[in-house]
Chains A and B, each alone.
Chain A
Amino acid sequence: MLELRHVSKTFNKGTPSAKQALNDLSLHLNAGDFVSIIGSNGAGKSTVFNAIGGSFLVDAGRIFLDGQDVTFLPEHKRAGSIGRLFQDPLRGTAPNMTIEENLALVYLRANKSRSIFGITNKERDFFREKLATLNLGLEDRLKSKVGLLSGGQRQALTLLMATMITPKVLLLDEHTAALDPATADKVLELTRRIVADGHITTMMITHNIGSALALGNRTIMMNEGQIILDVSGEERARLTVPELLELFREKSHTALDDDRILLRAD
């Protein structure tokens, strides 16, 4: 479904502050894979997502999405097949627009033949039905401005928006990191359900080692722009959090250096 072939990226090339963020990285995801990604600060995790999403062009290598070479496709043209969530809940929604307007905005990309007279009642019912699945009572607040919602509610709404038209790949960059633990758990559970229901190919960066192992079918560790560990199946099922950390130390010859790391093994 998603393939990165020998991708490299150096920021500020040719200057003293040059930084190789991706170093000949290759990765292949099968349809329906749910991969969790962990690694030290600055390992290049977000950079992988930015490369896939098209925030910049990579220096070398190729990126394929569902068989199509997207290496040089501009960001907004890839966006139709990629759903993205960021740590900052403010990034995924338009605060001065209402919940239904936000939903309508993404709904556009599948449904070009919308009525010119704004949102139809049929669409409104559809939005209400979708919002009800979040269990946050947002289905009764279609006309509320999104800026009035809490961080958790906004992130849940963003998740809904990113997956309303099933994306070919869903990229979650620490999307629960800015939420309080209870809300984070709720959004994580929501993520698990939406991804499972839609069989969405997903990559999730997390600093919660526990959820990295608990969610999905595969875990990747990154260090200095490379993948240093890739576990799935039986091997992953048997791994515990301490074992995973030990593995990281072995492979990278340093301890996992993540200032936001959470070692909860839940």
Chain B
Amino acid sequence: MTLTLFQGTMEQALIYSLVAVGLFISFRILNIADLTVDGGFTLGCATSAVATLAGHPFLGLLLALFAGALAGLVTAVLQTKLKVQPILAGIITMTALYSINLMIMQNRANLPLLKCDTIYTWAAGWLPANLCKLLLLALIVALVLLGVFIFLRSGLGLSVRATGDNPDLVRSSSINPSHTITIGLCVANALVALSGALLAQYQLFSEITTGTGMVVIGLASLIMGEAIVGRGGLIRCLLGTLVGSAVYRLIIAIAITSSLQPSNLKLISAIIVAVSISWPAIREKLAVHKLKKAAMQAAREEDSHA
């Protein structure tokens, strides 16, 4: 792998790590499999692309954050106020977002941003040219992680974290769990959309299918990060999203440079997620199997002695 390719891979890892952070909040903290992500990622792409085309790349990031939070809000309201099952609530929002994203992209499936000013061209103005993207992304991701860290340790963040852990407790500390779920989903989807927004300006286009499978990709990164870094305190979990995202992007880069078809990547992601989530169950089955075998072995030996 060349240095340029490695650098590019790390840049993408930084961008996509925000999806993993978002999923850390919805999937790990709130304990909700939130499928809004697929639509929300494209939403971020689309919003950022349109704003960039109009000459406002930074406004694009802000708008994406806001739009993502709004998407999270819709899912949360469906779920908490209208009692739609969490998975279905996400699917509904995701489906609606497909049309909305097309609308934002002026009914075009692909919106190129050639020769536009982006946050990266802005960064090239004051950072070393060959490192400007990496440094800018590192700065943005560091700021976001710091913000998420502070949020999750604040009073409100504590209640959000307790919601996934023990909603009874949240209720008994006189906080409405519906509110904490809503706040959590808004923050998670804002981060996902920001990730999409950073990507659109990075790859210089926005495509309606960009977000497809993003939940699974994000989960794969999150879970791989946890496997490597562990699931200790908050700092460890947040670092895990970075590491997991880097590992995931490296796997993809290697797959692309080798003979593997890029179209197989989603299959690989799906397998990673399926295996890692079912790993505890698989491990238990294996352990029981071993015990049985040992017991049978012992019985046989006893028979032969008798």
Contacts and interface: CB of A to CB of B under 8 A. Distances in A.
B128 interface: no
Contacts of A261: none
Interface in B118-156: 150, 153-155
Interface in B147-202: 150, 153-155, 158-159, 161-162, 165-166, 168-177
A210 interface: no
Most chain A CB within 10 A, of B153, B155, B170, is at B155
B165 A97 contact: yes
Contacts, number: 74
A84 B174 contact: no
A136 B162 CA distance: 24
A108 to B, nearest CB: 5
Contacts of B172: 76, 79, 82, 84, 92, 162
A92 B155 contact: no
Nearest to B153: A118
Nearest to B167: A94
Contacts of B175: 76, 108-109
A106 B166 contact: no
A141 interface: no
Contacts of B162: 94, 97, 102, 105
Range, interface on chain B = 20 to 34
A112 B173 CA distance: 12
Contact of A108 (B155, B168, B171): B155
Interface residues of A, number: 31
B154 A94 contact: no
Given A118-B153, A118-B154, A94 B166 contact: yes
A51 B165 CA distance: 25
Given A76-B176, A105-B159, A92 B169 contact: yes
Interface string A81-109: 01010000011111111000110111011
In this complex, the member of A79, A82, A92 whose beta carbon has the largest number of chain B beta carbons within 10 angstroms is: A79
A67 B170 CA distance: 25
Q: Which of A76, A78, A80 has the most CB of B within 10 A?
A: A76
B166 A91 contact: yes
Given A108-B155, A118-B154, A95 B165 contact: yes
Given A114-B155, A118-B153, A118-B154, A105 B169 contact: yes
B174 A77 contact: yes
Nearest to A111: B155
Contacts of B174: 76-80, 109
Given A74-B176, A79-B172, 6 more contacts: A76-B170, A80-B174, A90-B166, A91-B166, A93-B166, A162-B172
Interface of A: 74-80, 82, 84, 90-97, 101-102, 104-106, 108-109, 112, 114, 116-119, 162
Interface of B: 150, 153-155, 158-159, 161-162, 165-166, 168-177
Closest 6 CB pairs of A and B: A118-B153, A94-B165, A80-B174, A79-B174, A94-B162, A94-B166
25 contacts: A76-B175, A77-B174, A79-B171, A79-B172, A79-B174, A80-B174, A82-B172, A90-B166, A91-B169, A92-B172, A93-B166, A95-B165, A96-B161, A96-B165, A97-B161, A101-B158, A105-B173, A108-B173, A109-B173, A114-B155, A117-B150, A117-B154, A118-B150, A118-B154, A162-B172
